[in-house]
Amino acid sequence: MPITSGGKATAIGVLAIPLWALLPTLTVLAGAIPPLELVALTFTIGALAGFVWLAANTSARRGLGALGWKPVALGVAAFFVDHFAFFLAMQNAPAVEASLVNYLWPVLIVMFSTMLPARATAGKLTVWHISGVSMAFAGAALAITGGAALSLGGNAFGYAMAVTAALTWSSYSVLTRLFRGVPSAAVSVYCLGTAVLAWGAHLALEDFVMPAPGMQLFAILALGAGPIGLAFYVWDYGCKHGDLRTLGVLAYFSPLLSTALLTATGLGPSKPALWVAALLITGGAILASRDALRTMRGVRRAPASVSAMD
């Protein structure tokens, strides 16, 4: 069965998922770098990488001259708020738990995508999506409570920031659908704007901390090149031209990957409750993706997700 242009775009967008699974581990390895400084450093790297690519790729630069202020404002605001909130969450709550709460963003994409105009979305929320959403939220609740009574303790701010990051990134991913004509190369402009904004805020509010040579410096460079770099470009392209709902449900598998990385490196505890939480979120993905998986396998004769998006 031939792969449609929408299918190719979806496959490109999926590449962001394993890159983002590295985000929690690399953030922990970055250590006690002030959050605004960490945003500034990593987005500077991401912007530089993007502009090097643009300098070598003439076709990728097409359309940038006519780039309007609305997509730029959306991209810069989303990138800045999402990562500032995420770094705060990882520094103010247990790493694995905060990471799992942040991974509510895929299910929020599924929910928010139904609010788009009919021409920009792939269909309505079904009972399978609602069931998957419920399972995912149950997993996030289990991650916070560990199966005990709800008690946030001193981690309430960190968890609130994790929820903020999830809301921000899911909203951005859905709203990019309204700017399908904007080339994905515009992400370079978003990264540059985010870096400038973060440097200004950092210099006004924080003291600069020099990254230590070795693992800390490597983690910062890796963050800028991967999760805050390449991942943005492929995700932006996938969200604009691929199956948004499929990307959202497949992104549920990131919690298992990120939890495995954190525990395998010894940066997070391997608690049974946390693994159950990760499995609930992944199980929600499987349940919510029932229709999308049938479409990808060609069971449905006229896949709405492809015809509405290409």
Total domains in the chain come to 1
| Residue-wise DSSP of 115-134 | TS-GGGS-----HHHHHHHH
In this predicted model, what pLDDT tens digit does every residue of 113-154 receive, in sequence order? 777 665 444 556 678 778 888 888 888 888 877 765 555 667
CB 259 within 8 A of CB 267: no
Residue 307 has pLDDT above 60, yes or no: no
Tens of pLDDT, residue by residue over 59-116, are: 767 767 778 899 999 999 999 999 999 999 999 999 888 988 898 887 787 778 777 6
Confidence of residue 294 (pLDDT cuts 50, 70, 90): low
Question: In the prediction, which pLDDT does 191 show?
Answer: 95
pTM above 0.85, yes or no: no
Sign of the CA dihedral with 132 first, then 94, 199, and 20 last: negative
* Contacts with 222 (C-beta within 8 Å, 6 or more apart), sequence order: 22, 26
Residue 109: domain span: 5-307
Higher pLDDT, 58 or 259: 259
Task: Give CA–CA dist 203/103, Å, rounded.
Answer: 30
Angle (nearest 5°) at CA 107 between 104 and 111: 130
Largest CA distance in the chain: 59
Tokens 């515009």 map to which residue? 186
